[in-house]
Structure 1
């Protein structure tokens, strides 16, 4: 069994290395690269404008990384009188480490729906929610926070930039010759890009591959696109260690 890893940049490369060390052959084919967001220079002012008790919500470790680097470069310290919320444990730990602040996350359901179920997100009248994220992305949390009375401010901390390959057919042929039978896809945008990347004549191969993903939402979209539900695995969390554990456990059960 070989695994195609589509997670971008360093985290994708680290995942490949972790899988190889676990005895699972892996190939890295990132479909996006990650770069600094176009609104990062506005971040210090946005944080200064918050009132005590307002909320800073961070969607990913990429948002944490670029935000923290920006603030550190000007000697700006994260405020200790606002609330910090992250979408999952990995992002929360990263933000807590770099900001030296307590960060809340939805332990049982690490997604936007889980965040919206947190007690801190129920009464938002006269509060501001500052969302740190990449370009594009899901609008559910922003929409629901507004519906609950919050003023919502969205700031682009990073950009997803499509990676251009000289020959898509050659890349797909390499995957097939390498025995790729499983795909790791960690976002809806990546899944959409992967479907567009693979030529029409290879779509049957693509959708016969087992899909390892990180949310029911992505799984449901994959089913609509042609994957069989029994051929989709949902990792308990989106971090690399959890993805490796999902694959190792499945391999062991199949053996």
Structure 2
């Protein structure tokens, strides 16, 4: 069983509670990172495996326990959408993968020019981005003039080399990659 976010854990726990059920003891539990692992351990009482180095899908998939999985079943708890890398890789390794979309992510609609003006007037010079989807939404939200004259001049803090590459392709020059995706790593990177 894979938990890809704290939100997935919280919503799955809520559903189990409503049905007066508990987390099963038999499967191996995996989480995308330390914070999600802690949330999953708190509600399930189970040992949770997660990447110790970088809290990203690519490193999770390198765990020894996920190398020989042919014939096993995997349940992935997540929100709607997102990357398919974990599911695709587990399937390619011979596992039968089922996705459980525990919650729906909905974009909040902003006036991009108004937000850009506000952020620029407040002298925002650094932007933290933790997902490719977030980066694309930010890029789409901000009108071209503000992108060229303000946003692309902000320092961008991202959580993976994959996001840094995507940001470079969009035009950012000043990009810093945090050591990890958790709040502690982001705070360290901001200092």
Judge same fold: TM > 0.5, yes or no. Answer: yes
Q: Does 1:134 align with 2:75?
A: no
* SS of match in other structure, 1:218: helix
**Two-structure CA RMSD over aligned residues (Å):** 1.0
Report how far residue 238 of structure 1 moved. 1.6
What is residue 30 of structure 1 aligned with on the other side?
none
What is residue 207 of structure 1 aligned with on the other side?
152
Question: d(CA) in 1 for partners of 2:147 and 2:120?
Answer: 12
Structure 1 unaligned regions, length at least 5: 1-55, 249-255
What is residue 186 of structure 1 aligned with on the other side?
130
Q: Does 1:234 align with 2:184?
A: no
Question: d(CA) in 1 for partners of 2:168 and 2:89?
Answer: 26
Q: Does 1:149 align with 2:59?
A: no
Question: d(CA) in 2 for partners of 1:178 and 1:240?
Answer: 23
Report how far residue 80 of structure 1 moved. 0.9
What is residue 14 of structure 1 aligned with on the other side?
none
Report how far residue 144 of structure 1 moved. 1.1
* SS of match in other structure, 2:104: strand
Q: Which has the higher contact order (CA 8 A, sep 6+)?
A: 1
* SS of match in other structure, 2:127: strand
8 Å contact kept, 2:53–2:180 = no
Which residue of 114, 118, 127 corresponds with 1:174? 118
| Moved >3 Å (runs of 4+) | none
Matches within 5 A, 1:1-255: 56-165=1-110, 167-204=111-148, 205-228=150-173, 231-248=174-191
* SS of match in other structure, 1:157: strand
- Per-residue CA deviation, residues 139-175 of structure 1 (Å, 9 max, x unaligned), is 111111111110010110111101012x321111110
How does the TM-score come out when normalised to structure 2? 0.96
Alignment length (residue pairs): 190
Structure 2 unaligned regions, length at least 5: none
Q: 1:97 to 1:106 in 2, by over 3 A?
A: same
- Per-residue CA deviation, residues 163-198 of structure 1 (Å, 9 max, x unaligned), is 012x32111111011000000111110100000000
Question: d(CA) in 2 for partners of 1:115 and 1:190?
Answer: 21
Question: d(CA) in 2 for partners of 1:222 and 1:140?
Answer: 19
- Per-residue CA deviation, residues 181-234 of structure 1 (Å, 9 max, x unaligned), is 000111110100000000011112111100011111111100111011xx1111
